[in-house]
Chains A and B, each alone.
Chain A
């Protein structure tokens, strides 16, 4: 379970809306607890895919290291990544799967005509064959398994 408070969820949606029609991206910093993976803060990043930002995002090794340092400085772990799907459902694509790392939570927010919509979270299976949906729990008390709005 991914625990995301209202402010974090709004920040992810807002980043997606600001970068529309391009894909946005960023790191999620937090801690794994018994009750779930809690996202404490975000580390917004720049989409480095200048050639195809409308449907691709890229976070370089340098940006990864910057996010890692930010997490360490705040006593947190780098627990996952968020990105947006402009005018596309908040479901991971085959391209997402091919490029995913295990362990991290992958949050996707759909941004339709500039307006943020569904937000979902996913974990890559150990054999890399698919993503498993990860429930998002928040203060908004959405029913379990519901796409986060």
Chain B
């Protein structure tokens, strides 16, 4: 299925400065795998060392957070848009 994957500004430097890319993918996980396969430098910003999507990386299919769908197994339909939306977190060492 043809899907558009939108790249947040913070990561465009690692994706050829593109705001979006297009893939044929069956699931969200498949699309992300293709993305990080082409743009390997994205991987460390999207995934932990043990291969899980980082907690502050939110993945939406159209307007739905994949956490409330089937996570990386969420199926893709033709014309869907996957968005990578940051959460921002931090704090002092205490």
Task: Show the binding face of A for B, using Cβ within 8 Å.
Answer: 23, 25, 49, 52, 54-61, 64-65, 77-78, 81, 83, 85-86, 88, 92-96, 99-104, 106, 126-128
Is the pair A64, B44 in contact by a Cβ cutoff of 8 Å? no
Is the pair A54, B86 in contact by a Cβ cutoff of 8 Å? no
Q: Is the CB of B9 closer than 8 A to any CB of chain A?
A: yes
Q: Is the CB of B38 closer than 8 A to any CB of chain A?
A: no
Q: Is the CB of B56 closer than 8 A to any CB of chain A?
A: yes
Tally inter-chain residue pairs, CB-CB below 8 A.
89
Q: Tell me the bound Cα distance from A144 to B34 in angstroms.
A: 43
Give the residue name and chain of the B residue nearest to A78 (CB).
B9
Across-interface contacts of B91 in A (CB, < 8 A): 23, 49, 52, 55-57, 83, 85, 93, 95-96
Partner of B92 from A23, A102, A126 at Cβ < 8 Å: A23
17 more CB-based (< 8 A) A-B contacts, given A55-B94, A99-B56: A23-B91, A58-B87, A59-B89, A60-B87, A61-B85, A64-B86, A83-B91, A85-B91, A92-B90, A93-B90, A93-B93, A99-B89, A101-B10, A101-B11, A103-B10, A103-B12, A104-B10
Is the pair A101, B86 in contact by a Cβ cutoff of 8 Å? yes
What are 23 A-B interface contacts by the 8 Å CB criterion? A23-B91, A25-B88, A56-B89, A57-B90, A57-B91, A58-B87, A58-B89, A61-B65, A64-B86, A78-B9, A83-B91, A85-B91, A88-B92, A96-B90, A99-B56, A99-B89, A100-B90, A101-B8, A101-B88, A102-B11, A103-B12, A127-B44, A128-B45
Smallest beta-carbon distance A132→chain B, Å: 15
